[in-house]
Structure 1
Amino acid sequence: MILPKTIQSKTHHIHNPFQFIQTLENFQNGQQVKGLQHLKKYLQDFGYLNYNVDHHSEVFDNLLESAIKTYQYSYGLNVTGILDSDTVKQMMKPRCGAPDYVINGRTKPQHGHEDKSPFHSVAHYQFIEGTPRWSKFTLTYTFNSTAQVPASLNIKSVFQSAFQKWAGVTRFSFKEVPENSPADIVIGFHRLDHGDGDPFDGFEGVLAHAFPPSYGLCHFDGDEMWSPNPGPNEVDLESVAMHELGHILGLGHEPTKPEAIMFPTFDYGRIKRDLNIDDIQGIQALYGLS
């Protein structure tokens, strides 16, 4: 799948799309609070709720409390069902756009309709529902972006390194083909609505997303501060690339393991480029190598 070649300039938004969560700190079951509808949508998007957002109220109900408890348990937080400061801090972190477990996580590009499937947990890694996997071990990849990509990002070198690390623990080999050529995996930087049904949200918030075998789409938000050697306010491109390639190969999120590449959230300035034992066990189990 090749997206239209219309280059977009970078425009930073003035606030974190998840900033609203901070205004809800310390609220709990039984209270009515403006902004809870947005929190319910956040928890639905990332797999912790499954009722219709269109009918959400601003009431902190039992379903919301249960979803928050599940989130807290997943991320190793105190399980209170209350939006305490630690929970708010975790929820506001930049993250992958894929859902965590999940009740209704999207797993393929959308074109005017919803088609959602859950992840399911196995040991300390997750597969995508139906365990989709590639039917071949030699995969091609190319680059096709609609957002400007600074040459200083060295994206070809960054992704070559990320592919090599996944290849090192599997039977996969990855070959780059010329830009915009047909390929198994298409990597691109895009802004906001970019045609796959999962629009980006601007600066901060969701950093990237990818679709599982064999869709092969791997998208990065062109509004982020990407870097091959990040400062304290920048995102390490290779760390996020490692994560998204895990989705491309068929792995889901693992929110219970902060050191795993497949942990859903990221920290500015942090470099996390090496596969954890949970990542390795997951990908080898998926492809019958363990």
Structure 2
Amino acid sequence: MKSLLLLLVFVTFSSAFPADRKMENEENTQLAQAYLNQFYSLEIEGSHLVQSKNRSLIDGKIREMQAFFGLTVTGKLDANTLEIMKRPRCGVPDVGHYGYTLPGWKKYNLTYRIVNYTPDMARADVDEAIQKGLEVWSKVTPLIFTQISKGIADIMIAFRTRVHSWCPRYFDGPLGVLGHAFPPGLGLGGDTHFDEDENWTKDGAGFSLFLVAAHEFGHSLGLSHSNDQTALMFPNYVSLDPTKYPLSQDDINGIQSIYGGPPKATAKPKEPTVPRACDPDLTFDAITTFRREVMFFKGRHVWRIYYDITDVEFELISSFWPSLPPDIQAAYENPKDKILVFKDDNFWIIRGYAVLPNYPKSIHTLGFPRQVKKIDAAVCDRNTRKTYFFVGIWCWRYDEVTQTMDKGYPRRVVKYFPGISLRVDAAFQHKGFFYFSRRSKQFEYDPKAKNVTRIMKTNTWFQCREPFNSSADFTVREEDVHSGGAEMSYHKNLNLLIFSVVHVLEKSYSYQ
């Protein structure tokens, strides 16, 4: 009898576990569909005849979401993906034309009004949090914010719950969506709403009104979400030390691409610096191939490396092309053995070591719309003869044969090149792979498989080593890099010899 009871108990519990697991899977699937619908423009049909089509669409949106958050791109609803979906976040979508930031507000003096207050905080603390949230952006731009107490302001601020007034977006109760805002424009443009069902706080348990407000005001000013987890514009809520400045360089670059930097105070000009090849934080302005070499541009300088040769040369740009400006922003080699170089809304064409006459010309002659003011990066696919231009979070594709822009562009960078950053600083192609630089990271990308094969430092090409890397670890003084060029060969097997030479010449060479 006892054995029979144990058998019944075992059968009862074992039959309950699959049911519980099935219910949990259904709940997770519903959560994922709601999340993707709200933040990744998922639209599925209800008919049973299209279930396979819906499954494929959902898997594709999961891949897009995983690429955005830097997860392993599987298209499957794994534990890490579900964890991200369950975190408190902003209610603004991560994809879609909503994220097109330019041109922002057409004025620098903006007004704001707090329509109502949360009972969670003292009114004075709410005023302070909102003011500081706006100051985050005014410190790095020419923008000026003025509070008004009545009438219609550029940025109307309110605490709301669930479905509210004329707003097309809604809140979902405690946790989940914390707030949302609308990009610059008429009507709801600039308006910012916070979910009153949350516990808002100045510096205690709950959600920091200052941090959420500063994030939402980024949207009010025209910024989309960033996949940089250190950025204020990252969509998920991240608690930060309130004494630390919340903007990352990604946030600053984004907002200044719309409004420019703050008014410059008169100051003594700084001495020009010479970049250090093996600086672990080294970034590049532009990278391009040139016949059998790769050129890395930084400020007034260029490094040159040759395929399958470890030597690296370091020169002034002006020693090759005196008419080119410093701080080049993009460059690429086209199929006709020419280099196109970009800065602001101008470009130059180089054949060999000569800049062609009648340049620079406007980038709009290539087919860019007038709102595009500069190119961040460019790379030509030698196999397809298509050139990709990167502008903010968007990329255009140019046909080098017809010399026209392809239809259907621009497209979002993160969607067309899954796994790489939202924005690209520099790009080039080598042995069939694309190499995309973002800050000090470089993504090796397989265009056929459409995935990232590895992530490395941008200066991996310079054969740097730790702790004493090579002669790339020191730089000559600015006056030593003259118009004739100061050749610097970087030999990975000469560390000991260089170490002794450095001590002898330490008065003539400066470390950075």
The question of whether the paired residues in 1 share the 8 Å contact of 2:141 and 2:260 is answered with: no
The question of whether the paired residues in 2 share the 8 Å contact of 1:37 and 1:58 is answered with: no
Q: What letter matches 1:47 in structure 2? A: Y
Instruction: Report the count of equivalent residues.
Output: 233
- From the two aligned structures, give the one with the greater strand fraction: 2
The residue that corresponds to 1:182 in the other structure is 152
Distance 1:54 1:151 in 2: 47
The residue that corresponds to 2:290 in the other structure is none
Within the candidate set 133, 137, 150, 2:121 is matched to: 150
- Is it true that 1:101 corresponds to 2:134 in the alignment? no
1:145 Cα offset (Å)? 2.4
- Is it true that 1:39 corresponds to 2:13 in the alignment? no
**Alpha carbons of 1:35 and 1:76: their partners in 2 closer, same or farther (altered >3 Å)?**
closer
Within the candidate set 73, 81, 101, 1:79 is matched to: 73
1:53 Cα offset (Å)? 5.9
The residue that corresponds to 2:434 in the other structure is none
1:182 Cα offset (Å)? 2.4
The residue that corresponds to 2:223 in the other structure is 251
Specify every segment of 5 or more residues in structure 2 that has no aligned partner in the other structure, as ranges. Answer: 1-22, 262-343, 345-512
Distance 2:57 2:196 in 1: 35
Further displaced range: 53-62 or 272-281: 53-62
More relative contact order, 1 or 2 (CA 8 Å, 6+ apart) = 1
Q: How does 1:33-72 map to 2 (within 5 A)?
A: 33=26, 36-47=29-40, 49=42, 51-52=43-44, 61-72=55-66
The question of whether the paired residues in 1 share the 8 Å contact of 2:183 and 2:190 is answered with: yes
The residue that corresponds to 2:191 in the other structure is 217
**Alpha carbons of 1:165 and 1:91: their partners in 2 closer, same or farther (altered >3 Å)?**
same
- Is it true that 1:23 corresponds to 2:11 in the alignment? no
Q: How does the TM-score come out when normalised to structure 1?
A: 0.72
Further displaced range: 198-207 or 37-46: 37-46
Q: What letter matches 2:256 in structure 1? A: Q
Q: What letter matches 2:193 in structure 1? A: H
SS at match of 1:139: strand
Q: How does the TM-score come out when normalised to structure 2?
A: 0.42
**Alpha carbons of 1:284 and 1:54: their partners in 2 closer, same or farther (altered >3 Å)?**
farther
The question of whether the paired residues in 2 share the 8 Å contact of 1:36 and 1:58 is answered with: no
The residue that corresponds to 1:286 in the other structure is 258
The residue that corresponds to 2:213 in the other structure is 241
- Is it true that 1:230 corresponds to 2:204 in the alignment? yes
Distance 1:152 1:269 in 2: 23
**Alpha carbons of 1:136 and 1:144: their partners in 2 closer, same or farther (altered >3 Å)?**
same
Distance 2:237 2:51 in 1: 29
**Alpha carbons of 1:163 and 1:66: their partners in 2 closer, same or farther (altered >3 Å)?**
same
1:41 Cα offset (Å)? 3.0
The residue that corresponds to 2:378 in the other structure is none
The question of whether the paired residues in 2 share the 8 Å contact of 1:48 and 1:71 is answered with: no
Within the candidate set 157, 173, 186, 1:202 is matched to: 173
The residue that corresponds to 1:169 in the other structure is 140
SS at match of 2:104: coil
1:137 Cα offset (Å)? 0.3
**Alpha carbons of 1:182 and 1:149: their partners in 2 closer, same or farther (altered >3 Å)?**
farther
